[in-house]
Amino acid sequence: MSVVVGQQFSNGFAAVSLIDLIVFVIASGMVLGGAVGVIASRRPVHAALSLVLTLFGVAVHFVAMEAHFLAAVQVIVYAGAIVVLFLFVIMLLGVDQAEDLRTERLPIQRPLAAVMGLGVVGLLIAAIVASRNTAPLSVGVGLDVAGQATADGAIVENDANIRQLARNLFSDNVFAFELTSVLLIVAVAATVMLTRRERKPVDDEAAT
């Protein structure tokens, strides 16, 4: 949503802004609740399902920020592929025994982790708040928003976000895009090598 569209919303009908607020609060609750569930649940399966909740909340935020293609990809790739891969590994290995969260081998580890986490969050929020009113760098040309009227009155297409993303991806970043195919091939080959079961010759003779 560009700045112009936001002004249109707040001037034209204020109810849209209220709906934005409600969506933000609910989706943030999903994201934070899922994130706490990932680090606080004792069983890995529960942690994986909490991760799904977080990923769906992030997808809702993407929709609210007019990044429709990324929202779809977030659901398909993250919730559909990566979490299912986690669940496959948990089920196949049978490592779903509950971890005892109360005992800690290093006694200072947990307070130290809390202090460091709070420090990181505090520094980030301080930097964000300090720079919230700085003038934006004039790098962008504006985002096309689905179904919105542009400045000259023409209605852009409903898939304007995908068109703009594709134009950027296949013109400016096409070399990096090609390199990702190499990365995926290397990852698949490495996984096949890593998880290959080495056959023992004794077992072969016993089998035959």
Partner 1 sequence: MIAAIEPTSTWYLILAAVVFGIGAVGVMVRRNPLVMFMCIELMLNAVNLSFVALSRRLGDIGGQTAVFFVLIVAAAEVVVGLGIIVSILRRRPGATADDLSELRG
Contacts (CB under 8 A) with partner 1, residues 65-104: 65-67, 69-70, 73-74, 77-78, 81-82, 85-86, 89-90, 92-95, 97, 99
CB of 31 to partner 1, least distance (A): 6
Token pair recorded at residue 103: 């005992």
Residues 55-91: b if buried by 16+ CB within 10 A, e if exposed: bbbbbbbbeeebbbebbeebbeebbeeebeebbeebe
Cβ count within 10 A of residue 20 = 15
Token pair recorded at residue 179: 């390199």
Contact flag: residue 15 with partner 1 (CB under 8 A): yes
Contact flag: residue 147 with partner 1 (CB under 8 A): no
First to last CA, the chain: 67
Among 26, 91, 114, 155, binds partner 1 (CB under 8 A): 114
Which positions from 167 through 186 interact with partner 1, judged by CB under 8 A? 168-169, 172-173, 176, 180, 183-184, 186
Contact flag: residue 151 with partner 1 (CB under 8 A): no
Asked if 30 and 57 touch (Cβ cutoff 8 Å), the reply is yes
In the complex with partner 1, which residue's Cβ is closer, 95 or 155? 95
Token pair recorded at residue 172: 């400016």
Contact flag: residue 47 with partner 1 (CB under 8 A): yes
Give the C-alpha separation, 188 to 190, whole Å: 5
Contact flag: residue 159 with partner 1 (CB under 8 A): no
Per CB under 8 A, the segment of 110-118, 150-158, 200-208 that binds partner 1 is 110-118
Give the C-alpha separation, 53 to 51, whole Å: 5
CB of 30 to partner 1, least distance (A): 11
CB of 148 to partner 1, least distance (A): 13
Q: With 0-12 CB in 10 A as exposed, 13-18 as middle and 19+ as buried, what is 4?
A: middle
Asked if 66 and 1 touch (Cβ cutoff 8 Å), the reply is yes
Contact flag: residue 116 with partner 1 (CB under 8 A): yes
Among 91, 118, 146, 149, binds partner 1 (CB under 8 A): 118
The DSSP secondary-structure symbol of 131 reads T
CB of 208 to partner 1, least distance (A): 24
In the complex with partner 1, which residue's Cβ is closer, 171 or 208? 171
Contact flag: residue 108 with partner 1 (CB under 8 A): no
